[in-house]
Amino acid sequence: MKKYHGFTLIELMIVIAILGILVAIALPAYQDYTVRARVSEAVAQTAPAKLAVVETASSKGILATKIADNKAAGFDFPAAGTKYAKSIVIANGVITTTPQNTGAATNPVMKWTPKHVTAADPTTPVEWTCSTLPVTANKYVPAECRN
């Protein structure tokens, strides 16, 4: 009697089915991960705008909410945007970050609002609170921006 070495057709089909299930689970998770990474790139580009608002407010001795726009803060962002950040706009101290090319169905728009410990003393440290629109895009933004 001959001995066969190898796999039967049914064994190969079972392995392929298991691989198919694993891919079906992993692919959406990977796609969400790449979108979050691209949104994080846009968030990272917000840091210079925050710094500009805080430094301008500190040097002028005013509240951060008194800084009218990008020009008043001394912050310049390219009109064409960057690869993943469409725009970063300052209005009354509030910074609005709009990502682009993230791969999300709807790109989240994040608003960073300065909050002073006390309005009477503009030299107190600025804390930033973040909110996101639309709320359906919360899974792509940093934890501090989830509504």
How many Å apart are CA 132 and CA 146, to the nearest integer? 7
- Structural domain including 14 reads 9-145
Look at residue 56 and tell me if it is in a domain. yes
Any domain includes 18 = yes
The b-or-e profile of 119-136 (16+ CB within 10 A means b, else e) is: eeebeeebebebbbeeee
Rg of the chain's alpha carbons, rounded to an integer? 24
Checking if the pLDDT of 105 tops 70, the result is yes
More confident residue, 119 or 27: 27
Tell me: cis bond preceding 134? Omega within 30 of 0 counts. Answer: yes
Is 4 among the domain residues? no
Q: Residue 130: inside a domain, yes or no?
A: yes
Question: Does any domain span residue 79?
Answer: yes
- Structure confidence at residue 81 (pLDDT): 87
Structural tokens at position 83: 């690869």
Q: What DSSP string describes 55-104?
A: HHHHHHTS-GGG--BHHHHT----TT--SSEEEEEEETTEEEEEE-SS--
> Is residue 6 helix, strand or coil?
coil
HSE-CB at 46 with a 13 A cutoff on CA atoms is 24
Yes or no: say if 84 and 99 are a contact pair by the CB < 8 Å rule.
yes
Q: Is 3 inside a domain boundary? A: no
Q: What pLDDT is attached to residue 86?
A: 95
Q: Which residues are CB-neighbours of 45 under 8 A, at least 6 positions away?
A: 82, 84, 85, 88, 97
Q: What is the CATH number of the domain that holds 134?
A: 3.30.700.10
Q: How many domains does the chain have?
A: 1
pTM of the complete model beyond 0.85: no
| Average pLDDT of the segment spanning 37-50 | 93
| 1 assigned to some structural domain | no
